[in-house]
Chains A and B, each alone.
Chain A
C-alpha cells in the first residue's frame, strides 16, 4: 500500500516543492517497499526521537559488547572441541608438549597458539564478557538512581535483571569451558555449591556431572548451555528489552519543554543511527584494544585441570566475585540432622544470599510503588537527590556488594597491601552488616542536603563569586537569580506525599482489610519521604522573586553579565567596563523545548570569531 507522494506538495512554503531526481538508493528502497511494505512502519520508526545524555548510552555498551561476544564466539566455536576425551598435546606451546590433557584444553591451546588471530579472538571474547556484565550493571544503577524503573517500565526492569543473571551464568559457563586448572577449580567449586544443597545436593551433582566429579559429561553439557541455550534466551530477552524501550519511549531529564507526554531529542535517522552506530565501533575498538594489549586468562600458564592441583589467585571472573567473597568470610558452621549434612558455611553465602539479593533486586520497583502508592506513568527522570531514600537504598546495596566483592579478593588485597588475610576476614564479617547502614545514612543525609541547596538556589539565587565589602568592613557574597530555564528544571518535580494509613476500621467499626499492612506502609512511606525537602511553593518563589527584584531596583546593573561592579560605584566612574565573568548559563526565557539544538542559550561567540 504505497502511495505515490511525488505529486503531492511536501512543504507549506510559498514556492511549491519539486519532485527530487530519482536516485539508485531511492529506487532500491522503492523496490523493497513495493514488495515488503516497510515504508509505513519505518516512516514512524526512523523518525523516533531519543534524548541526548551520556548516561542513556550505558546500556548500549552492554548491547554492543554482546554483539562482539556473538561475533568472536562464533569464531571460537569453529575450533573449540567441547570434549573431555584424553589427548596428548603436540602443539606449538613448548612447556606443555607431550602432556596428557582433555581435548577441550588442547583445542583452547590450539586456538591460542596455532589458529591465526585465535588468541586475539579469545581475549576479545573474554574482555567483551567482562564488559557486557559490567555495562549491564552500570546501566541498572543509572536506571534505578534516576527512577526510570517506575511505571510503566517495571517489567523492563525485570527483564533487565534476568539479563543480568543470565549474563552472569553465561560468563560462568564460558569461564569453565577451557578445562584449564583455573576453570576446573571453578567447576569443582560449583560442584561443592550444588552438593551443599541439603539432602538432594549429591543427587543434583551426580545428575549434572553424569556421575562422580569430574566425569566426562560436564564440558559438552556446559558447551551446549553456553553456545545455545543461554545465548538464545539472552537474544530473546534483549529483543524484548529493546521492543519495550521503543514502545515506552525513552525517558528524559526534566527541562523546559520536556513533559510526560513528549520526548525531546534527536531522531533515529540520521542522528542516532550515526551516534549509536558510531558507539558500536567505539566499543568494538575498546574491546579489540583490550584483547590485543591486555592479557586475560592465560590458560597455557595454568596447565590442564587436575583435581589434585590448585593455584593461588584462583578467583572467578569479577561478576561471580561477590558470592565468592561471602563464601570466603563465612564462618564454618555445619549441622548434622538425621544423617544429613547441612553445610551452612556454603549454603548461606552461595545459595541463599545471591537468591535473596536477586529477588530483592527484581522486586525493587514493586516494593517502591507499593510504599509510595504512586500509580502514575513516569517519563521524566528524577535526579538521585530528589529520591533520597531510594538513592540511599541502592548505595547501601552497592556497599554490601562492594564489601563482599573485596572479600572475594582478600588474598590479593593481603599481599598487595601487606595485610593479614585473617584480619581482612574479621573486618569484612563486621562491615558487610555495618557498612550498608552507614552508607545508607550518609547518602540519605547527603541527598537531603543537596535538595536544600537546590532550594537555596531557587530562593536566593546562585553564588556569583563576587565578594562585597560593606561600609563597616563586613564581607558578603552576592547572589544572582537563576536563569528561568534552570529554575524550571530544578522545580520540575512532584511533591512527595507521605502515605497516612486510615483508622484501621471501616464505617461499620469493623477492622478493615489490610489495616495492619497499611500501618507498615505508612511507616515505610514516612521513612521514604518525611525528611525530604520539598520544592518551594509558588508563594515562596514569588516572594523570593519580588525580593530579588527589589534588590535589582536598589542596585541597578544586573541586566547584563555580572562584571563585578554591580554593587559598587564603578558605574559612576568613567573607567572602561571589563566583564569579570561571561554569561552565566542560559538567559532568561530560553529553552522553548524545541527539538533543534539552536533554540535557547546564548551565543558565546567571543571565542568563535577570530579577530574579535
Chain B
C-alpha cells in the first residue's frame, strides 16, 4: 500500500507537466482501440472486404449468370409459354450458390431436364464472391462450416450412435431416390437423383439444406443440423468400410447382378463346356480328328 501510495505520489508529481495530457490521450486511445478490437463484431473488420467481395461477385454474375437469372438475380420468365428461363435467386442463400456453382452444375451447359454435374467453371475464390453477392440479395442459408458436418469432435461412442442414427434417416428419407448406397436413381422425364458416393460432405449438406432441382429441401426445421451431420457420417462410414462382399457391381441392385450372372456366370460356364466338348478322347499324344 505504501509502495502504491509512493509510486502514485511520484506519478502525481508529473500531472501538471505538458506531456501528461498527451500521455493520457495516448493511453485512452490505446485502451479504446484495444477494447474495440477485442469486443467488436468480427464482420466489422471485414466490412469493407465483404463489400469488395460482393462487388466482385456482382461483376462475375453479370457476365456469367444474368442472361438467365436477370441482372439483379430476379429471374427471367420466358415470354413464350410462360416457362422460366432462370429462377429468381433472391433468398436462395450462399449455400445454394456454393452447391450449384461449386459442383459445376451452374452455369448450365445446356437447358434440359436437369443440370449435369461437371468440372466447375469458376475457381473457389470466384464461387465465394458469387455466393457473397447472391447472399446479399436476400436472407438465405449460409455455406456450412466443416464443424457442422464433421463428427470428428464426438467421442467414439457418440460417433457410432451418430452413424447408426444417420443410417436410419438415410434409409427413410434418401434411398427412395438415391438408392440404398447412394448410387443414384431415375426420376421422371429424364431427371435423376445423382450418385452421392464420393461427393464432398459440404455439398451433401448444402444439397439437403437448399434442395437443388427435383430434390426436397430438408430445412433445419424438419432435419436438424445434427441429423444432417449423421446422414453424412453414415455415408462416410459406407465409403470407409471395406467392400465385405467383393466387387460391388456398381451398387445398382439386382439388375447389375443379373447382368453379371448371364455375362460372367453363364458365359464362363458355356466357354468351359465348349472347351470340354472340344477335347475329345485320345489314346496317343498326336492329335486325332473325330
Contacts and interface: CB of A to CB of B under 8 A. Distances in A.
Interface of A: 52-58, 60-61, 94-99, 112-113, 119, 123, 127, 130-131, 134-135, 138, 181-182, 266, 271, 275, 278-279, 282-283, 286-287, 290, 292-298, 300-303, 306, 308-318, 321, 408-412, 414-415, 418-423, 586, 597-598, 600-605, 608
A123 B266 CA distance: 16
Give the residue among A57, A266, A316, A608 with the most B Cβ atoms within 10 A.
A57
B180 interface: yes
Interface in B139-185: 160-161, 163-164, 167-168, 171-172, 175-181, 183-185
Nearest to A609: B286
Contacts of A94: 160, 163-164, 237
B290 interface: yes
A410 B179 CA distance: 15
A134 B246 contact: no
A308 B259 CA distance: 29
B185 A312 contact: yes
B260 interface: yes
Nearest to B265: A131
B244 interface: yes
Contacts of A418: 190
Given A53-B277, A290-B264, A95 B186 contact: no
B180 A286 contact: no
6 contacts: A95-B241, A290-B265, A295-B246, A295-B249, A298-B245, A317-B257
Nearest to A131: B265
Interface residues of B, number: 69
Given A97-B160, A135-B266, A311-B180, A294 B274 contact: no
B2 to A, nearest CB: 70
Contact of B184 (A182, A415, A603): A415
Contact of B186 (A119, A298, A321, A421): A421
B186 A312 contact: yes
A282 B272 contact: yes
Given A53-B277, A597-B281, A311 B269 contact: no
B246 A123 contact: yes
Given A52-B277, A311-B179, A318 B254 contact: yes
A147 to B, nearest CB: 20
A609 to B, nearest CB: 8
A302 B176 CA distance: 11
Contacts of B251: 301
B246 A294 contact: yes
Nearest to B192: A415
B289 A601 contact: yes
B252 to A, nearest CB: 5
Contacts of A302: 171, 180
Contacts of A410: 186
Main secondary structure of the interface of B (DSSP, over half): helix
Contacts of B164: 94-99
B64 interface: no
Contact of A598 (B161, B186, B288): B288
B252 A412 contact: yes
Main secondary structure of the interface of A (DSSP, over half): helix
B278 interface: yes
B280 A597 contact: yes
A182 B290 CA distance: 52
Interface string B250-271: 0111111111111011101110
Nearest to B181: A301
A58 B276 contact: no
Contacts of B237: 94-95
B273 A58 contact: yes
Contacts of B282: 597
Contact of B256 (A135, A316, A412, A604): A412
A152 B252 CA distance: 45
Given A119-B245, A296-B257, 10 more contacts: A123-B246, A130-B258, A131-B261, A275-B276, A286-B265, A298-B245, A310-B176, A312-B178, A313-B180, A608-B286
A421 B255 contact: no
Contacts of B243: 295
Contact of A308 (B167, B172, B255): B172
B290 to A, nearest CB: 4
Nearest to B193: A312
B253 A313 contact: yes
B247 interface: yes
A309 B177 CA distance: 11
Interface in B191-218: 192-193
B280 A315 contact: no
A331 to B, nearest CB: 15
B234 interface: yes
Contact of B163 (A95, A113, A182): A95
Given A415-B184, A598-B288, A95 B269 contact: no
Contact of B277 (A54, A301, A318): A54
A312 B184 contact: yes
Nearest to A98: B164
B272 A296 contact: no
Contact of A286 (B192, B253, B269, B287): B269
A312 B238 contact: no
B113 interface: yes
Contact of A313 (B185, B192, B260): B185
Contact of B177 (A131, A300, A312, A315): A312
A98 to B, nearest CB: 6
B189 interface: yes
Contacts of A56: 277
Contact of B281 (A96, A271, A287, A317): A271
A312 to B, nearest CB: 3
Nearest to B277: A54
Contacts of A316: 254
B253 A134 contact: no
B188 interface: yes
A112 B246 CA distance: 13
B9 interface: no
Nearest to B170: A303
Contacts of B272: 279, 282-283, 286
B258 A282 contact: no
B290 A313 contact: no
Contacts of A602: 289
B248 interface: yes
Contacts of B257: 130, 296-297, 317-318
A293 B290 contact: no
Contact of A95 (B177, B184, B234, B256): B234
B113 to A, nearest CB: 7
Nearest to A300: B244
A286 B168 CA distance: 36
B254 A317 contact: yes
A101 to B, nearest CB: 11
Contact of B276 (A279, A306, A310, A412): A279
A315 B160 contact: no
Contacts of A54: 270, 273-274, 276-278
A181 B180 contact: yes
A604 to B, nearest CB: 7
Interface string B124-152: 00000000000000000000000000000
Contacts of B261: 127, 130-131, 134, 290, 318
A205 to B, nearest CB: 24
Contacts of B186: 312, 410-412, 414-415, 421
Contact of A112 (B179, B184, B244, B252): B244
Give the residue among A54, A56, A96 with the most B Cβ atoms within 10 A.
A54
Contact of A58 (B246, B255, B270): B270
A280 B270 CA distance: 13
A317 B249 CA distance: 14
A318 B258 contact: yes
Nearest to B266: A134
Contact of A294 (B168, B234, B249): B249
